């Protein structure tokens, strides 16, 4: 297996995003097949809800997935942390990327 070569764009390029996240975090949380499935859902504009017990990790992983599709951008609703009072938002008819605490799993599903 050949080593993976990663080329970072020049910081002089104003169109390149400045990334201050650990982009490996989703790889610690998901299997590679799951990451590909999530990216497929993002690129096909599906409804996506992440569940986690760690609020900070929930936000970071959601942001990482948005960065993975660069130079494309997520144009739909993005709510990295959805409060209990706003759980009805998951019934929206449009694509979205949202995050919920794991305690709300039964209510959302």
What would the pLDDT profile of 1-56 be if each residue is shown by its tens digit? 677 777 666 666 666 666 777 889 999 999 999 999 999 999 999 999 999 999 99
pLDDT tops 80 at residue 88: yes
What is the pLDDT, as a whole number, of residue 1? 65
For the CA atoms of 94, 72, 39, 101, the dihedral, rounded to the nearest 10 degrees, stands at: -60
What is the pLDDT, as a whole number, of residue 20? 72
Cα 97 to its chain centre, rounded Å, is: 7
Listing DSSP states for 64-75 in one string gives HHHHHTTTS---
What is the pLDDT, as a whole number, of residue 3? 77
Q: What SS3 class is residue 33?
A: helix
What's the half-sphere exposure (Cβ side, CA atoms, 13 Å) at 55? 3
- pTM (2 d.p.): 0.80
pLDDT tops 70 at residue 92: yes
Please, what are the domains in the chain? 46-107 (3.40.50.11500)
Helices marked H in the chain — which ranges? 25-29, 32-43, 55-68, 105-108
């Amino acid at each position: 297996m050949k080593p993976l070569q990663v080329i970072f764009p020049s910081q002089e390029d104003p169109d390149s995003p400045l990334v201050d996240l650990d982009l490996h975090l989703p790889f610690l949380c998901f299997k590679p097949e799951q990451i590909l499935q999530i990216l497929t859902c993002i690129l096909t504009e599906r409804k996506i809800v992440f569940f986690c017990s760690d609020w900070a990790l929930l936000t970071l992983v959601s942001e990482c997935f948005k960065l993975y599709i660069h130079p494309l951008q997520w144009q739909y609703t993005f709510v990295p942390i959805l409060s209990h009072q706003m759980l009805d938002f998951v019934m929206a008819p449009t694509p979205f990327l949202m995050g919920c605490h794991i305690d709300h799993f039964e209510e959302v599903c």
